[in-house]
A and B are shown apart, each in its own frame.
Chain A
Amino acid sequence: MRSRLMDDKKAAILQEIPRLRRYARALLRDRDSADDLVQDSLERALLRMDNWRTGESPRRWLFTIMHHLFIDQMRKVSRRGEAAILPLEASEALATPAIQAESVASREIVDALQQISPDRRAALVMVAIEGFSYAEAATMLGVPAGTLMSRIARGREELRGLLDDQARRRAIRIVEK
């Protein structure tokens, strides 16, 4: 009985991997780092299978686990002054872009997203890309609804500002040519 239940649970988790990968990619940009985060999340989830209430989709449970790992990772890095995971090797970074065939415009959006603080980035990505409701996102991120709302509002405004800056810089470069 146990193994049957286990298989069902695993199948349900496997189904969530594409969504988890997308969330991680939006959070971290670098494809390998994002998949590392997904893998860490899956490994942790399997160790804590009992925490998942069966009968429910494992989606929110998995996203919650991943969010905790993401924030831990960001804290460790930011204690040392920077909130970014850098791909060290140029060729590797080129080989694994956040998205295939990045255009200038899409690269600018990805870059801008990375510059938003991790908390705001996570809130914005959960709602704007992953399509969670405010209530769901607030629960997964472990913050009150009001906090979530302001993170989204600020995150979105920050994104807009960053994109505008990039567009201005691009315009200046074109003029200088």
Chain B
Amino acid sequence: MSARSFTDRDIHLALDGELPEDERAAYQIWLEANPDMKARSLRYAADNAALRNLFAGVLEEPVPARLVTAVNGEGPRRKQATPWWRMVAAASLLIAGGLGGYLAGMSGLGMGGDSDDRMAQLAIAAHQTFASDKNRPVEVDGSDQAYLTGWLSKRTGLTLVAPDLSKDGFTLLGGRLVPADGATAALMLYADADGNRISVYVVAEGTERSKGTFTLASGGPEAVYWQDEGYGCAIVGTLPPEQMGTVARNAYKQLIAGAART
């Protein structure tokens, strides 16, 4: 047979079963004669096997009911909110603030955004009113944290802690109560050394599990929020998206851990 010359491309063809039958013998000879190529072939084969093994278990998993329902068309459908907020959340954690309009536009499409959007709007409104107040942003300052959180907990009906965000460069200025559509929300304000301020807004409200980010159509600060039954929280600020995401997650984890302690 004609001894065509092989290249590293053929390694992939051979591995994927795409090398014509009548070329395989010649390929093997070529491989044996080229230790570099042989090593590469073995390595690719090992990586391939690892990939396959890694995901093999997925085939054995029980199929989630919502997927069966999607085909058979009975029962409750998943909330529309899920896919888009995941996208928006991921995206806005990672890009600069200029997209406010776009993000708000997305949530304005009527896909799911109800109580969570409303909560985010209230949190942003509170942040805009109070965080920009240079002299008196808070009612109770952060020097006595036990008093502050005790007061906020009592008034909101939640077990609140003031998250320690010093790792992210933010110190607690203090907190205040803000009205929240008939409920009372706690607003805790933080500042970093450059004077950037962020708010942690918590309210005992929420009817569904959701999370995402929200920015008003007119731009301005961004809210990263989580909502669960009877609990909602939003971290609001104007930080680079990645930093915003980190700070928000850090705050959220501490709030949840604090609430779980009781």
- Give A88 Cβ to nearest chain B Cβ, in Å: 5
Pair A128/B51 contact, Cβ less than 8 Å: yes
Pair B89/A39 contact, Cβ less than 8 Å: no
Known: A77-B87, A82-B90. A22 touches B249 (CB 8 A): no
Pair A134/B57 contact, Cβ less than 8 Å: no
Among B91-116, those with CB < 8 Å from A are 91-95, 99
The one of B68, B91, B252 that contacts A77, using a Cβ cutoff of 8 Å: B91
Chain B residues within an 8 Å CB radius of A159: 47
> Does B183 belong to the interface (CB within 8 Å)?
no
Give the complex CA separation of A122 and B94 in angstroms: 23
> Does A66 belong to the interface (CB within 8 Å)?
no
Among B55-100, those with CB < 8 Å from A are 55, 57-61, 63-64, 66-68, 70-73, 78, 82-83, 86-87, 89-95, 99
Pair A109/B83 contact, Cβ less than 8 Å: no
> Does A67 belong to the interface (CB within 8 Å)?
no
- Give B36 Cβ to nearest chain A Cβ, in Å: 13
Known: A18-B63, A99-B55. A42 touches B12 (CB 8 A): no
> Does A120 belong to the interface (CB within 8 Å)?
no
Pair B72/A86 contact, Cβ less than 8 Å: no
> Does A50 belong to the interface (CB within 8 Å)?
no
A-B residue pairs in contact (CB < 8 Å), sample of 23: A17-B67, A21-B58, A25-B55, A25-B58, A32-B82, A36-B86, A38-B67, A80-B94, A80-B99, A82-B94, A84-B90, A84-B94, A86-B93, A88-B226, A88-B245, A99-B54, A99-B57, A106-B54, A109-B47, A127-B16, A129-B55, A134-B18, A149-B12
> Does A43 belong to the interface (CB within 8 Å)?
yes
Known: A76-B91, A163-B47. A90 touches B63 (CB 8 A): no
Q: Which residue of A lies closest to B73 (CB)?
A: A46
Flag B11-47 by CB within 8 Å of A: 1 or 0 each. Answer: 0110011100000000000000000000000011001
Chain A residues within an 8 Å CB radius of B43: 160
Pair B68/A113 contact, Cβ less than 8 Å: no
- Give B10 Cβ to nearest chain A Cβ, in Å: 10
- Give A85 Cβ to nearest chain B Cβ, in Å: 5
> Does B127 belong to the interface (CB within 8 Å)?
no
> Does A51 belong to the interface (CB within 8 Å)?
no
Grouping DSSP codes into helix (H, G, I), strand (E, B) and loop, the A interface class, with mixed when no group exceeds half, is helix
Q: Give the number of chain A interface residues (Cβ < 8 Å).
A: 54
Q: Which 5 A-B pairs have the closest CB atoms?
A: A22-B58, A80-B95, A82-B94, A80-B91, A42-B70
- Give B142 Cβ to nearest chain A Cβ, in Å: 25
> Does B146 belong to the interface (CB within 8 Å)?
no
The one of A17, A18, A19, A81 that contacts B95, using a Cβ cutoff of 8 Å: A81
Chain A residues within an 8 Å CB radius of B66: 35, 39
Q: Which residue of B lies closest to A84 (CB)?
A: B90
> Does B118 belong to the interface (CB within 8 Å)?
no
Known: A80-B91, A85-B86, A129-B55. A42 touches B9 (CB 8 A): no
Give the complex CA separation of A160 and B90 in angstroms: 27
Pair B50/A109 contact, Cβ less than 8 Å: yes
> Does A133 belong to the interface (CB within 8 Å)?
yes
Other than A82-B94, A88-B93, A153-B12, give 12 A-B pairs with Cβ distance below 8 A.
Answer: A21-B61, A26-B51, A32-B82, A36-B82, A46-B71, A81-B94, A88-B89, A129-B52, A129-B55, A149-B9, A153-B8, A156-B47
Q: Which residue of A lies closest to B52 (CB)?
A: A129
- Give B238 Cβ to nearest chain A Cβ, in Å: 17
Known: A17-B67, A89-B252. A110 touches B54 (CB 8 A): yes
